[in-house]
Structure 1
């Protein structure tokens, strides 16, 4: 009967061989996406907007009108205020996004949202396969990767904590032969990046597997079930006293002054397509403390919706907070640039693990074949 250590090693080997290529592509694309926003800001000057001191932001109606002039026949769908020094994004039900200076209403660019990073995101989430099938492959490959991290940790764990084993477990012997260096790169770097790669894998499973999200929410909230999402509707019996954009301007101003914390300019405001739709506003969108609010498009009255993001972050239960933190935990933006750098390095190491692991397996396989050939020759002689 096989021992636990042999079963663990066998599981680690074959799961790694089966999922290695997929884990490699997911990790490489993850490396690129970690600094997506930073690269965009560095290479796309139209995303910036300069303003003198105390220059007020222009309301949504002005930005929407400026963008719609450049997109004849289309109506703005939502407006994203990005914060101080950033151009606003006006989206339409099309492939194009219009960037508008929120202080002057000058259109700075019209771009296709299906750019390089969009393609990389498609590869990261679905391997460029049909979305439903691709996401399933990525999700279950992430689950396999999580098992690989755990089995790899068991393999790495020293049998005896003496000086020799500790040195081998925590250091890379750079002066050794390539075969040994490769082994250390796989084991040692895999250990050092384990906490981050586990967080990345877990947060990915949170997004991809309902049972992971529901069970995590239940634990974090102290036994509560994840609430269903409900978006309230506007009262269609009311008679509008002005245009919908007039109400949206009022809602925007109210959101900045009373609902954002602390007086954050970063928010997304939706423009209804029908009389039944409510105006939605996401406040504090520069981080995980975002919150959604719904307003009647005629009266501007605050409406009550349900979900994990309808209450102020500081007042939300642990499950709601975990749900809202999850994306930042996955992409590494939770502590800004320092955490992004850590995530980049961890993703790079994760991409290298299938490569170094395959080389370890190939070397052992080659060694066994050589030994078998030698044994056969001796028998013939």
Structure 2
């Protein structure tokens, strides 16, 4: 069997095996591309008017306001999203409390397990038990990556003459349905392959350790991915103030000294154990986020390890790639333009198993049709 036939055989059978899974993962990905935008349009409580000459309220004030709405529960972290948006106060619960960051007015209590949560579950695990579902989706993504490569080989024209170039790059909309379907599979698959390869790779980066480690090694110039270590607070120290007071001090320091001047997005954790440190994520509205750890007894900066503890501008290529990966996967790296591109690419990716199945079914049906016998006229 020639390499060409082996390639075609792989493309066919791997597509049949993974097609339905790829369809569901891609179509749910289409929806999730605009998750944040849809939420901002449909949920008025996410918006908060910025009053004149009023500063942001510290975590202790927002936590107190939210805890009144959740009797018996303590806030675990607070997310300041940015100007004109409400802050999110999280609990060990399915509910999130939204609080105006300038007035401490509670604007809504929303269930974390909403429509987009269900879509995310389908995208990452096909609504199966998480461990098994993640494995199915990850290996289907790996197969899809192989399909993109074998499809590129099948698309490649034998000769680069005018006729073949026209067939490879354009859709014959005036042709029969069978021809249009073939062009939709072949031509659109080619045009979207740069984006679909990035989506597939970034998904594999999150799902397969060997992919992440290999990519990190290459991007960092031969370094191994560091292990994550969250330093504990020193329980032998005498606390200088209450935990929430220290949290407020850490928050103020983080905004003043650690956050980017171009980003007000920050997440701060509220420890509930004596040896638990206070964590702060700064610049969380993009890939330049960074995590910091502080002792809850006195607010001293602690040293942790991982890919996100170094300022982005000073991080090695592997650390930067790790922090870019999520933005690369969801298409938020360039804002609305890249989201539109990712939406279209994901939609095409969802269509490929459908158009590919129709191509296979048409060939199979054609083979089963027996050739018609020619009848000869009989003269008397």
Settle same-fold status: TM greater than 0.5.
yes
Quote the residue 2:42 is aligned against: 43
Say which SS state the counterpart of residue 328 (structure 1) adopts: helix
Quote the residue 2:246 is aligned against: 247
Cα separation, 2, equivalents of 1:266 and 1:219: 31
Going from structure 1 to structure 2, the CA distance change for 1:308 and 1:199 (only over 3 Å counts) comes to same
Quote the residue 1:139 is aligned against: 138
Quote the residue 1:80 is aligned against: 79
Spell out, residue by residue over 1:78-127, the C-alpha distance to the aligned partner (whole angstroms, 9 max, x if none).
00000000000000001100000000000000011000000000000000
Question: What is the CA distance between 1:263 and its match in structure 2?
Answer: 5.4
Question: What is the CA distance between 1:55 and its match in structure 2?
Answer: 2.4
Quote the residue 1:125 is aligned against: 124
Cα separation, 1, equivalents of 2:66 and 2:273: 20
Spell out, residue by residue over 1:40-70, the C-alpha distance to the aligned partner (whole angstroms, 9 max, x if none).
0000000110013342100000000000011
Quote the residue 1:318 is aligned against: 317
Going from structure 1 to structure 2, the CA distance change for 1:268 and 1:155 (only over 3 Å counts) comes to same
After superposition, the CA RMSD in angstroms is 1.1
Quote the residue 1:365 is aligned against: 364
Say which SS state the counterpart of residue 193 (structure 1) adopts: helix
Contact 1:79/1:268 (<8 A) preserved: yes
Quote the residue 1:264 is aligned against: 263
The count of corresponding residues between Structure 1 and Structure 2 is 375
- Given the alignment of the two structures, is residue 199 of structure 1 paired with residue 195 of structure 2, yes or no? no
Cα separation, 2, equivalents of 1:349 and 1:330: 16
Spell out, residue by residue over 1:246-278, the C-alpha distance to the aligned partner (whole angstroms, 9 max, x if none).
000000000001001125220000000100000
Question: What is the CA distance between 1:374 and its match in structure 2?
Answer: 2.6
Question: What is the CA distance between 1:206 and its match in structure 2?
Answer: 0.1
Quote the residue 2:222 is aligned against: 223
Greater mean deviation of Cα atoms: 162-171 or 255-264: 255-264
Say which SS state the counterpart of residue 52 (structure 1) adopts: coil
1:39-118 alignment to 2 at 5 Å? 39-118=38-117
Contact 1:234/1:295 (<8 A) preserved: yes
Going from structure 1 to structure 2, the CA distance change for 1:139 and 1:161 (only over 3 Å counts) comes to same
Cα separation, 1, equivalents of 2:339 and 2:356: 26
Cα separation, 2, equivalents of 1:140 and 1:255: 40
Cα separation, 1, equivalents of 2:86 and 2:242: 25
Contact 2:185/2:352 (<8 A) preserved: yes
Of residues 345, 354, 374 in structure 1, which corresponds to 2:371?
374
Unaligned runs of 5+ in 1: none
Going from structure 1 to structure 2, the CA distance change for 1:263 and 1:10 (only over 3 Å counts) comes to closer
Question: What is the CA distance between 1:238 and its match in structure 2?
Answer: 1.2
Contact 1:257/1:263 (<8 A) preserved: no
Say which SS state the counterpart of residue 264 (structure 1) adopts: coil
- Given the alignment of the two structures, is residue 6 of structure 1 paired with residue 5 of structure 2, yes or no? yes
Contact 1:256/1:264 (<8 A) preserved: no
Cα separation, 2, equivalents of 1:102 and 1:162: 63
- Given the alignment of the two structures, is residue 275 of structure 1 paired with residue 274 of structure 2, yes or no? yes
4+ runs of 1 displaced by more than 2 Å? Answer: 52-55
- Given the alignment of the two structures, is residue 355 of structure 1 paired with residue 357 of structure 2, yes or no? no
Cα separation, 1, equivalents of 2:99 and 2:186: 50
TM-score (structure 2 length as normaliser): 0.97
TM-score (structure 1 length as normaliser): 0.97
Say which SS state the counterpart of residue 159 (structure 1) adopts: coil
